[in-house]
Structure 1
């Protein structure tokens, strides 16, 4: 890996946005009642990333209960095909903002909410990201493979990607 980067403000926001914008699923990690971590996959809604990631979820779900008890949350994004990995920390909030539900709604949600977007059990889950750690490779899979071999042969003196922390709030 190249030198560890520290990004702040707009620079960090742009970096994280560019890494997560095409990743359709994030693992949402919350704190369970017993203090252990609970994680589950969630379909993301990321357009013009401004530090917030949106989800639709059942209002009567364990994750909503956990967030009401402790709003700290982590979103873990993984794109193995492009060697991008992001762990983003922030605060989660739940509402039943009907306008936002309408904005985020698509037919995929019929599987969870057969009554449609007016289902009273739909909630909006918002995660405001404050910081993120990231790792990404700098080239295609074939070039990465060659670089990994070269790095192994040279004791790690070949740049195979970038790692860093972005603080955006």
Structure 2
């Protein structure tokens, strides 16, 4: 089955699969005028959430405060899948979740590791995701572009777009 067929069949499954394969995306806070920032994410498909470990001294956390709306965007390694996720984001005090997610990679960012008083866990409850899937085959793209140039009523058929809602959002 092609990736486009997988996407057409179950875009939500493909989203969680891609989020599991990728290590970072761009996170932005709706109320902030700041640019989106690269962040590592920890997907939780069962809960419909993304988790982030950061420092409470960042502008990002300052803008989150006790809650705000956020967007998180990712692109697959082969640029055949794109997603922009939206949802509520807040600081979490779930120490057990932080322990579960903690790793040597996270520790590298904090002097003193997990005991650093500025370690902060962010919890993003997803409400919606705009997803795009494209063929990774350059020959197929070229063929579709050629067809579109030869017929004025045709556009290249190289991908799909869908918006999905998450039942977990409040």
What interval of TM-score do these two structures reach, taking the shorter chain for normalisation?
Answer: 0.7 to 0.9
2:78 alignment partner in structure 1? 81
Q: TM-score, normalised by structure 2?
A: 0.78
Deviation of residue 113 (structure 1)?
A: 0.7
- Aligned residue for 2:21, secondary structure, equals coil
1:118 aligns with 2:115: yes
Q: Is the 8 A contact 1:31 1:38 kept in 2?
A: no
Q: Aligned to 1:46, what secondary structure does the other structure show?
A: strand
Greater relative contact order (Cα < 8 A, sep 6+): 1
TM-score by length of 1: 0.78
* Equivalent-residue separation in structure 2 for 1:142 and 1:80 (angstroms): 19
**Gapped runs of 5+ residues in structure 1?**
6-10
State the alpha-carbon separation in 1 of the partners of residues 106 and 124 from structure 2.
19
**Corresponding residue SS for 2:111:** coil
Q: Deviations over 1:118-140 (max 9, x none)?
A: 22211111111100111111343
User: Equivalents in 1 of 2:12, 2:47: separation in Å?
Assistant: 7
Residues 1-150 of structure 1 correspond to what in structure 2 (within 5 A)?
A: 13-32=12-31, 36-46=33-43, 48=45, 50-68=47-65, 71-79=68-76, 81-150=78-147
Paired with 1:13 and 1:50, the residues of 2 have a C-alpha distance of 13
Change (3 A) 1:49 1:117: same
Q: 1:116 to 1:69 in 2, by over 3 A?
A: closer
Instruction: Determine if contact 2:53/2:121 at 8 Å carries over to the other structure.
Output: yes
What runs of 5+ residues in structure 2 fail to find an aligned partner? none
Q: Within 2, Cα distance between the matches of 1:122 and 1:107?
A: 14
Aligned length: 161
How far has the Cα of 1:104 moved from its partner? 0.8
- The 5-angstrom pairing of residues 143-158 of structure 1 reads 143-155=140-152, 156-158=154-156
1:15-53 per-position Cα deviation (integer Å, ceiling 9, x unaligned): 532343322111111145xx5253100011125454101
